Amino acid sequence: MLSFLGFSTLDGFVDAAIPPAIRSRKPLNLPPALSETESLARLAGLAAKNKLFRSFIGMGFSDCVVPPVLQRNIIENPCWYTAYTPYQAEIAQGRLEVLRLFQLMVMDLTGMDVANASLLDEATACAEAMTLSWNAAGQPADKAFFISDGCHPQNIAVVQTRAKSLGIRTVTADESAADLGKGFFGVLVQYPMTDGRVADYRPLCEAAHRHGVLVTAAADILGLTLLKAPGEFGADIAVGSTQRFGLPMGFGGPAAAYMAVREALKRLMPGRIVAVSKDSSGRPALRLALQTREQHIRREKATSNICTAQVLTAVVAAFYAAYHGPEGLKRISSRVHGLACRLAAGLKALGWRVPDEPFFDTVRVEGDPSVVSRAFDAALAKRMNLRRLSDGVLTIALDETTGEADLEDLLEAFADGKPLLDIASAHVHSRIPEPLRRTSPFLADPAFTTNHSETEMMRYIKRLEARDLTLATAMIPLGSCTMKLNAASMMMPITWPGFAKPHPFAPKDQVKGTLALVKDLEKWLCEITGFAAFSFQPNAGSQGEYSGLLVIRRHHERSGEGQRRVCLIPRSAHGTNPASAAMAGMTIVTVECAPGGDIDLADLKAKAAEHSQDLACLMVTYPSTHGVFEEGIKDICRIVHSHGGLVYMDGANMNALVGLCRPAELGADVCHLNLHKTFGMPHGGGGPGMGPIGVTRKLVDLLPNDPLAPAARPDASGPTAASAFSSASILPISWAYIAQMGGPGLKAATETAILNANYVAKKLEGHYATLFRGRGGFVAHECILDLRPLKDSADVTVDDAAKRLMDYGFHAPTVSWPIPGTMMVEPTESEPKVELDRFIEAMVMIRGEAQDIAEGRADKADNPLKNAPHTCSAVTADRWERRYSRQAAAFPTAATRRAKFWPHCGRIDNVFGDRNFVIRPKDSGQECC
């Protein structure tokens, strides 16, 4: 490959391709690379340092039994975790079907009309509900958002951060005593409350609706199987976490949050929504609907900056519901509730004060503070964590894993030596009174009622799995997404109990292993980027942008320059950038690009000067979104700094920099890293990811603070996720990635990624022009291929080519971004030459197929490109009336004859689907296609 590009060594090639001015002089100073075995052993040691106490802390995190059939076939299965976001719907029908089930599950349990396909965590979902309510009310300047003080503290903290950045006033108080009059646009309540109480919110909803105030209920997903649904008591929006549906607490995550709304609010809802359309043969088929709400289209006017959310974890939750079914879920929740009732009775019998209030799984117990402390310590001595709600008040939250022995241990801790009553045989009444009880049915769709045995479940999973093209099938050359290998040895530790089990709010001395791992990772990422510190709170790249921009705003406020709110964003930026800036309360000013793709320096200078007094920052992606190492990056940073602004670097393209350049040395002040792109985490089919942010020294104390202790660092920019390290349980993946690669390995990976991209670009020369090139005619780690000439000569669109790639067994590269009519190819370092050649062959043949149309050898309308993709049933039908052969349709290459991946659907009609929005078709129960 090197000699094809005219080089004899990798170093020589890299020296030619990368501007010397941006190269870092200091090689990476990282520990020597570990073997897979050594890495696993070291991680096992760290996992062993975490103490696995039984958790009764609750607060939105509850342990559960991960069904082994799901652990083996989903969580540990690359056919699920290596998939990309299902934009190419024809080869993603498996995941789309499960996400549709996730939405149905949420719609049923919450009693709402429309649910989305997941959000990042419950706390950010609460914040999204606030902005949704605010937008529905027309962003009123004179109205506030009411937060019930019965909400989980992390939810309150994250909502307050978001409100502050948007200039929304919040009031946090007892909602039962509040006058929800004209002064509010929305209200947030917790269901059940953080202290375990279940309130009847019907009167609150009625009062709120009299004044046009929207009600959001943050509801416990398991509790909803026994409790009246939010949609039934009058809520307009429901949010919550689905963690206890099949995932461990993971010291904070990842897990899917949900959001569901009434029909009238659906176009204001953030996040992906899966809905039904039809394919070219008229059969129902699934795809992402109503995408014009989203940041990649609406930019700063989007409903939210959320992109990818929590697909893999949503898949687990939906399958958990399908595996247990409505009856099974009710059995689990009834059992948990029964145990809680018996615990309450037992505590009462021991003389403790247990308020006589409705509850689901969380028992509140009160007493003299010193006696209460003794009980808390006695529980700790039995390796049980309780929650100290306030002086003299404890809560005990039970879950699916709680057993009789736990109940006895708990009562013993509270007995203080007194003999226990025989609670096993005690008969207790439900603590959910009639009006609060759920009576409506849920999960009636056949998917939820027919897969309760492991045999059926396993086959159901496999049947859906076969519809999706993942890295287990072929390379996924998505530009800007870095679909590299997710090595098995790096994935294995995440399901180890040591990392998976801890509660996010467990005492710090019980999680020394994870904290040590986070510290290592922070040190290594600082070495790689040149920054002084990292925060692991942002649980997605978009969250990193938002959190980083808040740090920048906070910096200016602290310097007495709170008026600095202007955010310069190049026209070529990813849509998430302006969406995040809008969320951070910034004013967006667009900087033009020069014809070559680089930032137009003259325009940047002019706009920075024009806003010299109110410039907050520039958001810049490096290498650029055009896949080029801009030579002027240091000048760009200098210009912004000279006008008092900071530089936010979008780290989406970090895979082209590791070991060669450091963002901080280029001039960046803040940068997020997508651990799911550059640092080995899988994409999960659209999440979970992680977007930690690095900052220079002067910004360190402004990094997001702990949502449970926001007052501890008053200077900080505010919590932006539900727990300090958000999706902490997947951090071992990036730890292992760096540990196994070592400094030289990381550098070689970057160089190989750049080599692969240039190899593809050069091989395709003469077939497709590469639109942007940097120094020496080279691209960075990705190349943008121009397919617009095909449109002119043969009326073949870039979408036709993308769908045709499916017939060749490939997932299309990034389509029509950043330039319409193009494909952005990022092969990554993981792909061997043979796979690159197979892709190149497919692209060359597609060019030939277009040429056939242009030169009249193929029909303009009836050709393999316009009819792509070709399904098995279309190709094997008794009648074949196309003007080309079945072989040409489905087996155009030797590679496809050796191993064929069949697209599950024909071309999907997006227009039909968006004009006829349906999640649950009338003849519900049939799988799509």
Partner 1 sequence: MAKPEACRYAKSHEWVCLEGGTAAVGVSDYAQGEMTDVVYVDLPKVGRKVKLGESCGTVESVKAAFEFYSPVSGEVVAVNEALAKDPALVNRSPFVDGWFFKVKPDNPKESESLMDHAAYQEFLKTPAAHGSH
List of residues contacting partner 1 (CB under 8 A): 267, 290-292, 297-298, 301, 910-911, 914-915
Greatest Cα pair distance in the chain: 94
Q: Is 503 strand, coil or helix?
A: coil
- Name the residue nearer to partner 1 (CB basis): 301 or 437: 301
Q: What is the DSSP letter of 420?
A: P
Could you tell me the smallest distance in angstroms from the CB atom of residue 590 to partner 1? 14
Could you tell me the smallest distance in angstroms from the CB atom of residue 570 to partner 1? 18
- Closest to 56 (Cα-Cα) out of 416, 410, 513: 410
- Name the residue nearer to partner 1 (CB basis): 292 or 885: 292
Could you tell me the smallest distance in angstroms from the CB atom of residue 571 to partner 1? 12
- Name the residue nearer to partner 1 (CB basis): 301 or 331: 301
- Residue 243 CA to residue 833 CA, distance in Å, equals 41
- Residue 122 CA to residue 698 CA, distance in Å, equals 31
684 neighbors 676 (Cβ within 8 angstroms): yes
- Closest to 199 (Cα-Cα) out of 498, 436, 474: 436
- Name the residue nearer to partner 1 (CB basis): 291 or 851: 291
- Residue 871 CA to residue 907 CA, distance in Å, equals 9
Token pair 């759920």: residue: 438
- Residue 282 CA to residue 605 CA, distance in Å, equals 54
Could you tell me the smallest distance in angstroms from the CB atom of residue 913 to partner 1? 8
Q: What is the DSSP letter of 350?
A: T
Could you tell me the smallest distance in angstroms from the CB atom of residue 549 to partner 1? 24
- Name the residue nearer to partner 1 (CB basis): 70 or 214: 214
85 neighbors 180 (Cβ within 8 angstroms): no
- Residue 737 CA to residue 381 CA, distance in Å, equals 37
Cα four-point dihedral sign 539, 541, 542, 543:
positive
497 neighbors 485 (Cβ within 8 angstroms): no
H/E stretch holding 101 reads helix 93-110
246 neighbors 317 (Cβ within 8 angstroms): yes
- Name the residue nearer to partner 1 (CB basis): 266 or 501: 266
- Both structure tokens of 65: 């039994």
- Name the residue nearer to partner 1 (CB basis): 282 or 766: 282
- Residue 296 CA to residue 575 CA, distance in Å, equals 4
Could you tell me the smallest distance in angstroms from the CB atom of residue 882 to partner 1? 25
- Both structure tokens of 644: 């008092």
- Both structure tokens of 793: 């000569």
Could you tell me the smallest distance in angstroms from the CB atom of residue 268 to partner 1? 10
- Closest to 508 (Cα-Cα) out of 727, 325, 723: 723
- Name the residue nearer to partner 1 (CB basis): 293 or 662: 293
61 neighbors 387 (Cβ within 8 angstroms): no
Could you tell me the smallest distance in angstroms from the CB atom of residue 909 to partner 1? 10
Give the β-pairing of 274-278 and 257-261.
unpaired
Could you tell me the smallest distance in angstroms from the CB atom of residue 791 to partner 1? 14
Could you tell me the smallest distance in angstroms from the CB atom of residue 89 to partner 1? 12
- Name the residue nearer to partner 1 (CB basis): 557 or 914: 914
580 neighbors 305 (Cβ within 8 angstroms): yes
- Residue 856 CA to residue 186 CA, distance in Å, equals 62
Cα four-point dihedral sign 420, 424, 426, 432:
positive
- Both structure tokens of 187: 């209200």
Could you tell me the smallest distance in angstroms from the CB atom of residue 86 to partner 1? 16
- Name the residue nearer to partner 1 (CB basis): 185 or 679: 185
836 neighbors 756 (Cβ within 8 angstroms): yes
- Name the residue nearer to partner 1 (CB basis): 297 or 606: 297
Could you tell me the smallest distance in angstroms from the CB atom of residue 59 to partner 1? 39
Name the H helices within 660-730.
663-666
Query: In one letter, which amino acid is 40?
Result: L
- Name the residue nearer to partner 1 (CB basis): 200 or 914: 914
Helices vs strands, H then E, count in the chain: 30, 25
Could you tell me the smallest distance in angstroms from the CB atom of residue 601 to partner 1? 23
- Residue 639 CA to residue 624 CA, distance in Å, equals 17
Beta bridge partners of 908: 279
- Name the residue nearer to partner 1 (CB basis): 419 or 595: 595
- Residue 343 CA to residue 347 CA, distance in Å, equals 6
Question: What DSSP line would sit under 870-896, residue for residue?
Answer: PPHHHHTSS----SS-HHHHH--SHHH
Could you tell me the smallest distance in angstroms from the CB atom of residue 266 to partner 1? 11
- Residue 586 CA to residue 553 CA, distance in Å, equals 9
- Name the residue nearer to partner 1 (CB basis): 820 or 925: 820
- Name the residue nearer to partner 1 (CB basis): 199 or 290: 290
Burial per residue of 170-179, b for 16 or more beta-carbon CB atoms within 10 angstroms, e otherwise: beeeebeebe
Could you tell me the smallest distance in angstroms from the CB atom of residue 178 to partner 1? 29
- Name the residue nearer to partner 1 (CB basis): 55 or 303: 303
Could you tell me the smallest distance in angstroms from the CB atom of residue 292 to partner 1? 4
- Residue 261 CA to residue 225 CA, distance in Å, equals 18
Could you tell me the smallest distance in angstroms from the CB atom of residue 915 to partner 1? 5
- Name the residue nearer to partner 1 (CB basis): 275 or 540: 275
In 581-662 the beta strands, taken as DSSP E runs, fall at 587-591, 615-621, 646-651
- Both structure tokens of 402: 């709680």
